[in-house]
Amino acid sequence: MDISYPPETEAFRAEVTAFLAERLPAGWHGIGALDEDAAWAFARDWRTRLAERRYLSVAWPEQYGGRGLSKLHQVVLMEELARAGVPFGLPQDTFGVKMLANTLLRWGTEEQKNHFLPRILSGEDTWCQGYSEPGAGSDLASLTTRADLDPDTGEWVINGQKVWTSGAQHCDWIFVLARTDRDAPRHRGISFLLVPLHQPGVEVRPFRMMDGRPHFNEVFFTGARTRADLVVGGVDNGWAVAQSLLGVERGEEAATNPILFKAEVERLIELARLYGKDQDPVIRQRIAWCWSKVEIMRYLGYRVLTGWLKGAQPGPESSVSKLFWSEYHTKVTDLAMDIMGMHAQIPAGRPPLRTYRTDDPGAANSSASWSTTYQIAFSGTIYAGTSQVQRNILAEKVLGLPREPRA
Protein backbone atom coordinates (compact mmCIF):
# COMPACT_ATOMS: atom_id res chain seq x y z
CA MET A 1 0.00 0.00 0.00
CA ASP A 2 1.33 3.43 -0.99
CA ILE A 3 1.04 6.49 1.20
CA SER A 4 -0.31 9.64 -0.42
CA TYR A 5 1.41 12.96 0.20
CA PRO A 6 -0.22 16.40 0.41
CA PRO A 7 0.07 18.71 -2.63
CA GLU A 8 2.65 21.01 -1.04
CA THR A 9 5.09 18.14 -0.50
CA GLU A 10 4.56 16.87 -4.05
CA ALA A 11 5.40 20.37 -5.28
CA PHE A 12 8.60 20.17 -3.25
CA ARG A 13 9.31 16.75 -4.79
CA ALA A 14 9.05 18.30 -8.25
CA GLU A 15 11.54 20.96 -7.17
CA VAL A 16 13.99 18.33 -5.94
CA THR A 17 13.73 16.18 -9.06
CA ALA A 18 14.32 19.24 -11.24
CA PHE A 19 17.38 20.10 -9.16
CA LEU A 20 18.73 16.55 -9.56
CA ALA A 21 18.12 16.58 -13.31
CA GLU A 22 19.98 19.86 -13.61
CA ARG A 23 22.93 19.09 -11.35
CA LEU A 24 23.74 15.43 -11.94
CA PRO A 25 26.01 14.61 -14.89
CA ALA A 26 24.67 12.90 -17.98
CA GLY A 27 24.66 9.13 -17.75
CA TRP A 28 24.69 9.19 -13.94
CA HIS A 29 24.45 5.69 -12.42
CA GLY A 30 24.77 6.57 -8.77
CA ILE A 31 27.71 7.19 -6.49
CA GLY A 32 28.20 3.43 -6.11
CA ALA A 33 29.50 3.32 -9.69
CA LEU A 34 32.48 5.55 -8.83
CA ASP A 35 35.82 4.44 -7.47
CA GLU A 36 36.82 5.41 -3.94
CA ASP A 37 38.56 8.71 -4.67
CA ALA A 38 35.94 9.85 -7.17
CA ALA A 39 33.10 8.94 -4.79
CA TRP A 40 34.48 11.02 -1.93
CA ALA A 41 35.29 13.93 -4.22
CA PHE A 42 31.73 13.83 -5.55
CA ALA A 43 30.28 13.57 -2.02
CA ARG A 44 32.18 16.63 -0.80
CA ASP A 45 31.09 18.71 -3.79
CA TRP A 46 27.54 17.40 -3.55
CA ARG A 47 27.30 18.41 0.09
CA THR A 48 28.12 22.00 -0.90
CA ARG A 49 25.35 21.96 -3.48
CA LEU A 50 22.83 20.62 -0.97
CA ALA A 51 23.83 23.26 1.58
CA GLU A 52 23.48 26.05 -0.97
CA ARG A 53 19.90 24.96 -1.70
CA ARG A 54 19.23 24.58 2.05
CA TYR A 55 18.38 20.93 1.51
CA LEU A 56 20.57 19.99 4.48
CA SER A 57 18.36 22.20 6.65
CA VAL A 58 14.93 21.65 5.12
CA ALA A 59 13.11 21.55 8.49
CA TRP A 60 15.14 24.27 10.25
CA PRO A 61 13.49 27.68 10.79
CA GLU A 62 14.34 30.14 8.04
CA GLN A 63 15.96 32.56 10.49
CA TYR A 64 18.72 30.00 11.12
CA GLY A 65 19.37 29.14 7.48
CA GLY A 66 16.65 26.54 6.93
CA ARG A 67 13.70 26.25 4.60
CA GLY A 68 11.07 26.27 7.36
CA LEU A 69 9.43 23.14 5.95
CA SER A 70 8.14 20.03 7.70
CA LYS A 71 9.72 16.69 8.49
CA LEU A 72 7.54 15.24 5.73
CA HIS A 73 9.37 17.43 3.23
CA GLN A 74 12.61 15.99 4.58
CA VAL A 75 11.32 12.46 3.97
CA VAL A 76 10.40 13.41 0.39
CA LEU A 77 13.90 14.80 -0.09
CA MET A 78 15.45 11.56 1.18
CA GLU A 79 13.25 9.52 -1.15
CA GLU A 80 14.43 11.44 -4.20
CA LEU A 81 18.10 11.44 -3.16
CA ALA A 82 17.97 7.65 -2.64
CA ARG A 83 16.28 7.17 -6.00
CA ALA A 84 19.00 9.22 -7.69
CA GLY A 85 21.81 7.41 -5.85
CA VAL A 86 23.31 10.46 -4.13
CA PRO A 87 24.15 10.94 -0.43
CA PHE A 88 22.62 13.32 2.07
CA GLY A 89 25.79 15.13 3.10
CA LEU A 90 28.90 13.47 4.52
CA PRO A 91 29.12 10.92 7.36
CA GLN A 92 30.06 13.56 9.95
CA ASP A 93 26.85 15.47 9.16
CA THR A 94 25.13 12.85 11.30
CA PHE A 95 26.65 14.55 14.33
CA GLY A 96 26.53 18.16 13.18
CA VAL A 97 23.47 18.58 10.98
CA LYS A 98 21.24 15.91 12.45
CA MET A 99 22.17 15.62 16.12
CA LEU A 100 23.71 18.86 17.34
CA ALA A 101 21.79 21.30 15.14
CA ASN A 102 18.41 19.87 16.17
CA THR A 103 19.56 19.91 19.81
CA LEU A 104 20.60 23.56 19.55
CA LEU A 105 17.28 24.44 17.95
CA ARG A 106 15.51 23.07 21.00
CA TRP A 107 17.90 23.87 23.85
CA GLY A 108 20.45 26.40 22.64
CA THR A 109 20.66 30.10 23.44
CA GLU A 110 20.15 32.60 20.63
CA GLU A 111 23.88 33.31 20.70
CA GLN A 112 24.68 29.60 20.31
CA LYS A 113 22.20 29.18 17.47
CA ASN A 114 23.33 32.26 15.57
CA HIS A 115 27.00 31.33 15.87
CA PHE A 116 27.03 27.57 15.35
CA LEU A 117 24.12 26.76 13.03
CA PRO A 118 25.48 28.65 9.97
CA ARG A 119 28.91 27.07 10.51
CA ILE A 120 27.39 23.59 10.78
CA LEU A 121 25.40 24.16 7.61
CA SER A 122 28.37 25.44 5.62
CA GLY A 123 30.64 22.65 6.88
CA GLU A 124 33.05 25.16 8.38
CA ASP A 125 32.73 23.39 11.72
CA THR A 126 32.63 19.59 11.90
CA TRP A 127 31.45 17.78 15.02
CA CYS A 128 31.76 14.49 16.86
CA GLN A 129 30.01 13.05 19.91
CA GLY A 130 31.61 12.72 23.34
CA TYR A 131 29.24 10.45 25.25
CA SER A 132 30.62 6.94 25.91
CA GLU A 133 33.50 6.24 28.28
CA PRO A 134 35.43 3.04 29.08
CA GLY A 135 33.25 2.58 32.19
CA ALA A 136 30.11 4.30 30.91
CA GLY A 137 28.81 2.97 27.62
CA SER A 138 25.30 1.59 27.84
CA ASP A 139 25.17 2.86 31.43
CA LEU A 140 25.93 6.39 30.32
CA ALA A 141 24.95 8.01 33.63
CA SER A 142 28.07 6.42 35.18
CA LEU A 143 30.32 8.83 33.27
CA THR A 144 33.27 10.26 35.19
CA THR A 145 34.62 12.93 32.85
CA ARG A 146 34.38 16.12 34.87
CA ALA A 147 34.29 19.83 34.16
CA ASP A 148 35.10 22.50 36.74
CA LEU A 149 34.85 26.26 36.43
CA ASP A 150 38.17 28.06 36.71
CA PRO A 151 37.50 31.06 38.98
CA ASP A 152 40.31 33.04 37.37
CA THR A 153 39.26 32.69 33.72
CA GLY A 154 35.60 31.67 34.01
CA GLU A 155 36.27 28.75 31.67
CA TRP A 156 35.32 25.11 32.08
CA VAL A 157 38.34 22.89 32.69
CA ILE A 158 37.70 19.33 31.47
CA ASN A 159 39.44 16.13 32.55
CA GLY A 160 38.53 12.59 31.54
CA GLN A 161 38.26 10.21 28.62
CA LYS A 162 35.73 9.41 25.89
CA VAL A 163 35.75 6.37 23.64
CA TRP A 164 34.09 5.10 20.42
CA THR A 165 34.24 8.68 19.16
CA SER A 166 33.49 8.37 15.44
CA GLY A 167 35.53 10.60 13.16
CA ALA A 168 37.11 12.67 15.95
CA GLN A 169 40.44 12.77 14.12
CA HIS A 170 38.77 14.79 11.33
CA CYS A 171 36.63 17.14 13.46
CA ASP A 172 36.94 20.64 14.87
CA TRP A 173 34.51 20.37 17.79
CA ILE A 174 33.03 17.77 20.13
CA PHE A 175 29.88 17.96 22.23
CA VAL A 176 30.75 16.45 25.60
CA LEU A 177 28.78 15.13 28.54
CA ALA A 178 30.73 15.98 31.68
CA ARG A 179 29.98 15.84 35.38
CA THR A 180 29.78 19.37 36.75
CA ASP A 181 28.42 18.48 40.22
CA ARG A 182 30.11 15.41 41.67
CA ASP A 183 27.85 15.40 44.74
CA ALA A 184 24.59 15.21 42.77
CA PRO A 185 22.77 11.94 41.99
CA ARG A 186 24.23 10.24 38.95
CA HIS A 187 21.56 11.38 36.46
CA ARG A 188 21.95 14.94 37.69
CA GLY A 189 24.96 17.18 37.90
CA ILE A 190 25.85 16.47 34.24
CA SER A 191 26.28 19.25 31.67
CA PHE A 192 26.31 19.27 27.86
CA LEU A 193 29.42 21.22 26.78
CA LEU A 194 30.64 22.38 23.37
CA VAL A 195 34.41 21.90 23.29
CA PRO A 196 37.00 22.81 20.60
CA LEU A 197 39.22 19.85 19.73
CA HIS A 198 42.21 21.78 18.41
CA GLN A 199 43.73 22.92 21.70
CA PRO A 200 46.31 21.82 24.26
CA GLY A 201 44.91 19.24 26.64
CA VAL A 202 43.01 17.27 23.99
CA GLU A 203 44.51 14.08 22.56
CA VAL A 204 42.73 12.03 19.90
CA ARG A 205 43.93 8.45 19.47
CA PRO A 206 42.44 6.59 16.51
CA PHE A 207 42.16 2.82 16.64
CA ARG A 208 41.58 0.56 13.68
CA MET A 209 38.48 -1.47 12.95
CA MET A 210 38.43 -4.96 11.47
CA ASP A 211 38.39 -3.42 7.97
CA GLY A 212 41.76 -1.77 8.73
CA ARG A 213 40.40 1.77 8.90
CA PRO A 214 40.66 4.14 11.90
CA HIS A 215 36.97 5.01 12.18
CA PHE A 216 36.68 5.19 15.98
CA ASN A 217 38.85 7.09 18.45
CA GLU A 218 39.65 7.57 22.08
CA VAL A 219 39.65 11.21 23.19
CA PHE A 220 41.59 12.25 26.31
CA PHE A 221 40.99 15.57 28.10
CA THR A 222 43.73 16.81 30.39
CA GLY A 223 42.95 20.33 31.45
CA ALA A 224 41.14 21.08 28.19
CA ARG A 225 39.08 24.27 28.21
CA THR A 226 35.92 25.75 26.81
CA ARG A 227 34.08 29.01 27.45
CA ALA A 228 31.60 29.21 30.32
CA ASP A 229 28.73 30.09 27.97
CA LEU A 230 29.19 26.96 25.82
CA VAL A 231 26.80 24.92 27.95
CA VAL A 232 23.65 23.80 26.14
CA GLY A 233 20.43 23.60 28.13
CA GLY A 234 21.86 24.97 31.37
CA VAL A 235 24.44 23.80 33.89
CA ASP A 236 23.70 20.40 35.47
CA ASN A 237 20.84 19.78 32.99
CA GLY A 238 22.89 17.79 30.52
CA TRP A 239 21.06 14.50 31.04
CA ALA A 240 17.80 15.95 29.71
CA VAL A 241 19.65 17.47 26.75
CA ALA A 242 21.48 14.19 26.06
CA GLN A 243 18.24 12.20 26.06
CA SER A 244 16.68 14.75 23.72
CA LEU A 245 19.59 14.36 21.31
CA LEU A 246 19.32 10.56 21.39
CA GLY A 247 15.58 10.86 20.73
CA VAL A 248 16.30 13.01 17.67
CA GLU A 249 18.93 10.53 16.46
CA ARG A 250 16.67 7.51 16.81
CA GLY A 251 13.47 9.28 15.78
CA GLU A 252 14.82 10.92 12.62
CA GLU A 253 16.33 7.63 11.54
CA ALA A 254 12.90 6.03 11.96
CA ALA A 255 11.53 8.26 9.21
CA THR A 256 14.50 8.26 6.82
CA ASN A 257 16.34 4.94 7.30
CA PRO A 258 13.62 2.85 5.61
CA ILE A 259 14.22 4.79 2.39
CA LEU A 260 17.91 3.84 2.40
CA PHE A 261 17.21 0.26 3.44
CA LYS A 262 14.71 -0.17 0.62
CA ALA A 263 17.34 0.97 -1.88
CA GLU A 264 19.75 -1.50 -0.29
CA VAL A 265 17.31 -4.42 -0.64
CA GLU A 266 16.76 -3.56 -4.30
CA ARG A 267 20.53 -3.63 -4.70
CA LEU A 268 20.60 -7.00 -2.93
CA ILE A 269 18.07 -8.39 -5.42
CA GLU A 270 20.32 -7.28 -8.28
CA LEU A 271 23.25 -8.91 -6.50
CA ALA A 272 21.36 -12.22 -6.37
CA ARG A 273 20.64 -11.98 -10.11
CA LEU A 274 24.29 -11.26 -10.91
CA TYR A 275 25.38 -14.34 -8.94
CA GLY A 276 22.65 -16.54 -10.41
CA LYS A 277 21.05 -16.99 -6.98
CA ASP A 278 17.73 -15.30 -7.75
CA GLN A 279 16.06 -18.69 -8.40
CA ASP A 280 17.47 -20.36 -5.30
CA PRO A 281 14.39 -20.98 -3.10
CA VAL A 282 16.23 -20.38 0.18
CA ILE A 283 17.82 -17.16 -1.07
CA ARG A 284 14.47 -16.00 -2.44
CA GLN A 285 12.82 -16.69 0.92
CA ARG A 286 15.48 -14.73 2.78
CA ILE A 287 15.19 -11.80 0.35
CA ALA A 288 11.41 -11.83 0.82
CA TRP A 289 11.96 -11.73 4.57
CA CYS A 290 14.23 -8.67 4.15
CA TRP A 291 11.68 -6.96 1.93
CA SER A 292 8.89 -7.54 4.45
CA LYS A 293 11.01 -6.13 7.29
CA VAL A 294 11.77 -2.99 5.30
CA GLU A 295 8.05 -2.50 4.66
CA ILE A 296 7.33 -2.87 8.38
CA MET A 297 10.14 -0.40 9.07
CA ARG A 298 8.58 2.03 6.62
CA TYR A 299 5.26 2.06 8.46
CA LEU A 300 6.99 2.36 11.81
CA GLY A 301 8.71 5.41 10.36
CA TYR A 302 5.41 6.87 9.21
CA ARG A 303 4.08 6.44 12.74
CA VAL A 304 6.99 8.41 14.21
CA LEU A 305 6.67 10.99 11.43
CA THR A 306 2.98 11.46 12.19
CA GLY A 307 3.87 12.28 15.78
CA TRP A 308 6.42 14.82 14.60
CA LEU A 309 3.90 16.52 12.31
CA LYS A 310 1.57 16.85 15.30
CA GLY A 311 4.31 18.54 17.30
CA ALA A 312 5.37 15.60 19.47
CA GLN A 313 8.99 15.17 20.48
CA PRO A 314 10.61 11.74 19.87
CA GLY A 315 10.02 9.55 22.90
CA PRO A 316 10.62 5.94 23.99
CA GLU A 317 8.78 4.67 20.92
CA SER A 318 11.79 5.68 18.84
CA SER A 319 13.58 2.79 20.58
CA VAL A 320 11.29 0.42 18.63
CA SER A 321 12.64 1.72 15.33
CA LYS A 322 16.27 1.76 16.47
CA LEU A 323 16.03 -1.81 17.77
CA PHE A 324 14.23 -2.97 14.63
CA TRP A 325 16.57 -1.53 12.00
CA SER A 326 19.83 -2.37 13.77
CA GLU A 327 18.89 -6.02 14.32
CA TYR A 328 17.58 -6.25 10.76
CA HIS A 329 20.72 -4.86 9.17
CA THR A 330 22.90 -7.65 10.53
CA LYS A 331 20.64 -10.14 8.72
CA VAL A 332 20.55 -8.43 5.31
CA THR A 333 24.32 -7.98 5.16
CA ASP A 334 24.80 -11.59 6.25
CA LEU A 335 22.62 -12.63 3.30
CA ALA A 336 24.78 -10.57 0.94
CA MET A 337 27.84 -12.46 2.17
CA ASP A 338 26.13 -15.80 1.54
CA ILE A 339 25.13 -14.75 -1.99
CA MET A 340 28.69 -13.80 -2.93
CA GLY A 341 30.40 -16.73 -1.22
CA MET A 342 34.18 -16.50 -1.37
CA HIS A 343 33.99 -13.24 -3.33
CA ALA A 344 32.72 -11.62 -0.14
CA GLN A 345 36.04 -12.17 1.60
CA ILE A 346 37.65 -9.08 0.06
CA PRO A 347 38.49 -7.06 3.18
CA ALA A 348 39.08 -3.63 1.64
CA GLY A 349 36.60 -1.09 0.41
CA ARG A 350 35.47 2.43 1.23
CA PRO A 351 33.09 3.01 4.13
CA PRO A 352 29.68 3.05 2.40
CA LEU A 353 27.95 6.39 1.88
CA ARG A 354 24.67 4.48 2.35
CA THR A 355 23.21 5.31 -1.02
CA TYR A 356 23.23 3.34 -4.25
CA ARG A 357 21.41 3.00 -7.53
CA THR A 358 19.70 -0.29 -8.33
CA ASP A 359 20.44 0.01 -12.04
CA ASP A 360 24.18 0.01 -11.39
CA PRO A 361 25.57 -3.54 -11.68
CA GLY A 362 29.00 -2.31 -10.66
CA ALA A 363 27.71 -1.08 -7.32
CA ALA A 364 25.53 -4.13 -6.79
CA ASN A 365 28.47 -6.45 -7.41
CA SER A 366 30.97 -4.53 -5.31
CA SER A 367 32.10 -7.17 -2.86
CA ALA A 368 34.34 -4.61 -1.17
CA SER A 369 31.38 -2.35 -0.42
CA TRP A 370 29.19 -5.21 0.80
CA SER A 371 32.04 -6.62 2.87
CA THR A 372 32.64 -3.29 4.59
CA THR A 373 28.94 -2.86 5.25
CA TYR A 374 28.76 -6.35 6.71
CA GLN A 375 31.71 -5.67 9.00
CA ILE A 376 30.18 -2.52 10.48
CA ALA A 377 26.52 -3.63 10.56
CA PHE A 378 26.81 -5.25 13.97
CA SER A 379 27.97 -1.96 15.46
CA GLY A 380 24.46 -0.63 14.79
CA THR A 381 23.21 -2.88 17.59
CA ILE A 382 25.63 -1.14 19.97
CA TYR A 383 25.90 2.58 19.19
CA ALA A 384 23.12 5.03 20.18
CA GLY A 385 22.12 2.53 22.88
CA THR A 386 22.59 -1.22 22.64
CA SER A 387 19.76 -3.54 21.73
CA GLN A 388 19.62 -4.62 25.37
CA VAL A 389 19.24 -0.99 26.48
CA GLN A 390 16.47 -0.39 23.92
CA ARG A 391 14.58 -3.41 25.22
CA ASN A 392 14.91 -2.12 28.79
CA ILE A 393 13.63 1.31 27.73
CA LEU A 394 10.59 -0.24 26.09
CA ALA A 395 9.97 -2.59 28.99
CA GLU A 396 10.20 0.09 31.68
CA LYS A 397 8.93 3.27 30.00
CA VAL A 398 6.36 1.87 27.57
CA LEU A 399 5.16 -1.38 29.13
CA GLY A 400 5.58 -0.23 32.73
CA LEU A 401 7.50 -3.32 33.81
CA PRO A 402 9.72 -3.18 36.92
CA ARG A 403 13.33 -2.19 36.50
CA GLU A 404 15.84 -4.92 35.85
CA PRO A 405 17.63 -5.90 39.10
CA ARG A 406 21.09 -4.40 39.31
CA ALA A 407 24.16 -5.70 41.09
- Digit-coded pLDDT (tens) for 390-404: 898 889 888 899 987
Residue 179 CA from chain centroid, whole number: 25
Asked if the domains 7-122 and 127-237 are classified in one and the same CATH topology, the answer is no
> Across residues 31-57, what is the average pLDDT?
91
Given 249, 264, 266, 317, the catalytic residue: 249
Q: Residue 361: its pLDDT value, please?
A: 41
Q: Residue 349: its pLDDT value, please?
A: 45
| DSSP letters spanning 280-302 | -HHHHHHHHHHHHHHHHHHHHHH
What are the pLDDT digits (tens) for 250-276? Answer: 666 767 788 889 989 998 999 999 999
Q: Residue 314: its pLDDT value, please?
A: 65
Of residues 128 and 405, which shows the higher confidence score?
128
Residues 131 and 216: their CA atoms lie apart, in Å, by 13
Of residues 284 and 75, which shows the higher confidence score?
284
Does the pLDDT of residue 278 top 90, yes or no?
yes
Q: CATH fold of 127-237, please?
A: Butyryl-CoA Dehydrogenase, subunit A; domain 2 (2.40.110)
Tell me the pLDDT band of 357, cut-offs 50, 70 and 90: very low
Q: CATH fold of 241-398, please?
A: Butyryl-CoA Dehydrogenase, subunit A; domain 3 (1.20.140)
Q: Residue 332: its pLDDT value, please?
A: 95
What are the pLDDT digits (tens) for 89-99? Answer: 998 899 999 99
Task: Let me know how many helices (H) and strands (E) the chain has, helices first.
Answer: 12, 8
Q: Residue 1: its pLDDT value, please?
A: 53
Does the pLDDT of residue 309 top 80, yes or no?
no
Percent pLDDT > 70 in the chain is 90
Tell me the pLDDT band of 187, cut-offs 50, 70 and 90: confident
249 is catalytic: yes
Q: Residue 209: its pLDDT value, please?
A: 75
Q: Which helix (H) or strand (E) element contains residue 386?
A: none
Does the pLDDT of residue 376 top 60, yes or no?
yes
* Residue 163 neighbours by CB under 8 Å, 6+ apart: 132, 133, 134, 137, 216, 217, 218, 219
pTM of the model: 0.86
* Residue 15 neighbours by CB under 8 Å, 6+ apart: none
Angle at 118 between CA 116 and CA 121, to 5 degrees: 105
Strands 231-232 and 190-196: antiparallel
> Across residues 87-113, what is the average pLDDT?
94
Report the CATH architecture of 7-122: Orthogonal Bundle (1.10)
Give residue limits of the domains in the chain: 7-122, 127-237, 241-398
Angle at 54 between CA 52 and CA 60, to 5 degrees: 150
Asked if 333 and 377 count as a contact pair (C-beta separation under 8 A), the reply is yes
Does the pLDDT of residue 143 top 90, yes or no?
yes
Q: Residue 355: its pLDDT value, please?
A: 53
Does the pLDDT of residue 364 top 70, yes or no?
no
